[in-house]
Structure 1
Amino acid sequence: MTFSLLGRCARTGQIGAAGATSDIGVGARIQHIAAGVGAVLTQHRTDPRLGPRGVALLRSGCGAAETVAALVASTPHEGWRQLAALDARGRTAHHHGARVKAERADAHGRDCVAIGNILSSTAVPAAMVRAFEADPDAPLGDRLVAALRAGEEAGGEHGPVISAVLELHGEHDFALADLRVDRAADPIGELAGLWRDYAPKIDEFVLRATDPDQARGGAAGSVTLARHAR
C-alpha cells in the first residue's frame, strides 16, 4: 500500500526520503532521517518505533545491512514489517517480512533504495531508482520528486494514493524540508508543487535559524533599510 525511496546526494551529503500511499498521513509514519547519519523506512503494517531505533543504530556506527538485521531481530512481528535503510556512505539494505502483501518489491541503486508493498507491479521500485539516478547533479529534492513520479507512472499501488511526503536533511539537526500532502486527489502532483515553491526558500530559512542577523529583516538588513530611508 506504500511506495517510497531513500536517497543521498554524494555531492552535498544530504539525505532524504519520498513516499506515497493510499492511506492518510504517510509522512507521519514511514521516514526517519538524521543529518550525516542516514535514514530508515518502516512500512506495511508500520511500526514507527523501528525508525528511531534504526537511526540510533546508524548513529552508533552500524551500516545499513547491520541496522536492518538488528531491527528484524528486535521485533517479534518482523513478518509484517517492510524496512529499508541508507547509511551515510550510501550503502543500503531492506527487509520484506513473509507476511508483507504482494505485490512487494525492492530496488537498490547508487545512494538509494526503494521499496513497496501492495503494488500494481513489481517494476515500481526499479522505476523509482532509475529516475533518482538519472541526474545525479540535480538537487536532491528534485531527484526525490522525480522518483515518486516515476513510481506512480510505473503503476504505483493497487488503489489511488491520497497522501505523499518529501523530507530532506542537510548538515544541521533540523529538516531542510518536511513537506506533506494528505487526503488529496493528486498528492504527488501537489507535493511536486510544494517543493517547487519551497526549494528557493530553503537557504533563507536556514539562515534565519543559524545567523538571523544576516537574514532578511534581521539586524543587518534593518540597518541597511534605515540608511536608505534617510
Structure 2
Amino acid sequence: MTFSIIARCADTGQLGIAISSSSIAVGARCPWLRPGVGAVSTQNITLPALGPDVLDLLEQGLDPAGAVDKALTSNGYSQYRQLTAIDHLGRSVHFSGSETLGTHNAVSGEQCVAAGNMLADRAVIEAMVTAFEHGEGQLADRLLAAMHAAIAAGGEAGPVHSAALVVVGELTWPIINLRVDWAEEQPIAELQKLWDAYRPQMQDYIDRALAPDRSPGYGVAGDER
C-alpha cells in the first residue's frame, strides 16, 4: 500500500520524507516533520496522530526508539502500524507490526530509514536505501532518487496513485511541500516534475516570506514592481 524514505542531510541538517502509495493523498496522512527535531512516517493502517506524538517525544529528549515505543504503547493497536522515525542527529528507528500488510520490509541506512508494505519484493526497500546513500544533490534530489529506485526494483505489488515530498530546514515551515494526491499512473514521475519546476523558485519564496520589501517580483500579470 505504501513505501517511503525519511532522511537527514548531514551537511545542512535538513530533514525530509518522500512517500508513495496506492491510496489517495498519502501526503495528507503519513509524513510528519518538525524542524530541528525529527521526521516520522506513519503508514500501513495509518494513525496520523502517531506522527506528532513521536515528534513531541523526540522534542522532550527521547531517542527515536524510545519515542516510537512510547507512542505506539500509548495509542494501542501497534500490531497494525508501520512506523519510521529519524531525529535531528540522524538516529533512526523502524517498526513493523505483526499485521503489516503483504510483503513488507524496513531498513535503516546512513542518515536514512526506508519502509514499505504490499511490496512487489522486499529488495525494494534495500534499493531505496542504497540509492539515497549514493545519491547526489540536495536532500530532495536524493530522496527522489530513492523513490525512482523503488519503482525500478518493482515498487508496490499493484499500481501507486499518490506521492509526496516534504523537507524542513531551519525555518518553522517546510521549505518543500509537494504533493500528487491522485494520478492514474506514475505519481512519482509527476512529483519529479513538480520538484524540477519548484527547485529554481524555492529560494525566492523563502526570500519573499522573510524580506518582502527586498524580494524579487513574481513576474505575473498585475505585479508591477
TM over 0.5: same fold? yes
Identity of aligned residues (%): 44
Structure 1 residue 166, shift from structure 2 partner? 0.3
Are 1:154 and 2:148 matched, yes or no? no
The structure having more radius of gyration, on CA atoms, is 1
RMSD: 1.4
Structure 1: distance between partners of 2:212 and 2:39: 29
Correspondence for 2:55: 55
Greater fraction helix: 1
Q: Aligned AA for 2:190?
A: E
Structure 1: distance between partners of 2:217 and 2:3: 41
User: After the TM superposition, which parts of structure 1 deviate over 4 Å for at least 4 consecutive aligned residues?
Assistant: none
Correspondence for 1:200: 200
Q: Aligned AA for 2:151?
A: E
Structure 2: distance between partners of 1:214 and 1:35: 25
Q: Aligned AA for 1:139?
A: Q
Q: Aligned AA for 1:195?
A: W
Correspondence for 1:68: 68
Correspondence for 2:137: 138
Correspondence for 1:166: 165
Correspondence for 1:84: 84
Q: Tell whether the 8 Å contact from 2:50 to 2:72 is kept in structure 1 after alignment.
A: no
1:1-230 map, 5 Å = 1-135=1-135, 138-184=137-183, 185-217=185-217
Q: Tell whether the 8 Å contact from 2:84 to 2:115 is kept in structure 1 after alignment.
A: yes
Structure 1 residue 28, shift from structure 2 partner? 0.3
Task: Tell me how many residue pairs correspond in the alignment.
Answer: 219
Q: Secondary structure at the match of 2:76?
A: coil
Structure 2: distance between partners of 1:83 and 1:150: 21
Structure 2: distance between partners of 1:152 and 1:21: 12
Q: Aligned AA for 2:162?
A: S
Structure 2: distance between partners of 1:217 and 1:115: 41
Structure-2-length-normalised TM-score: 0.94
Structure 2: distance between partners of 1:214 and 1:113: 39
Structure 1 residue 65, shift from structure 2 partner? 1.1
Structure 1: distance between partners of 2:154 and 2:116: 11
Structure 1 residue 74, shift from structure 2 partner? 1.3
Correspondence for 1:222: none
| CA displacement 1:92-149 (0-9 Å, x = unmatched) | 00111111122010111111000001111001111001111113x5200100110111
Q: Secondary structure at the match of 1:83?
A: strand
Q: Aligned AA for 1:169?
A: V
Structure 1 unpaired stretches of 5+: 219-224
Q: Aligned AA for 2:144?
A: V
Q: Secondary structure at the match of 1:4?
A: strand
Structure 1 residue 75, shift from structure 2 partner? 2.0
Q: Aligned AA for 1:161?
A: V
Structure 1: distance between partners of 2:23 and 2:217: 41
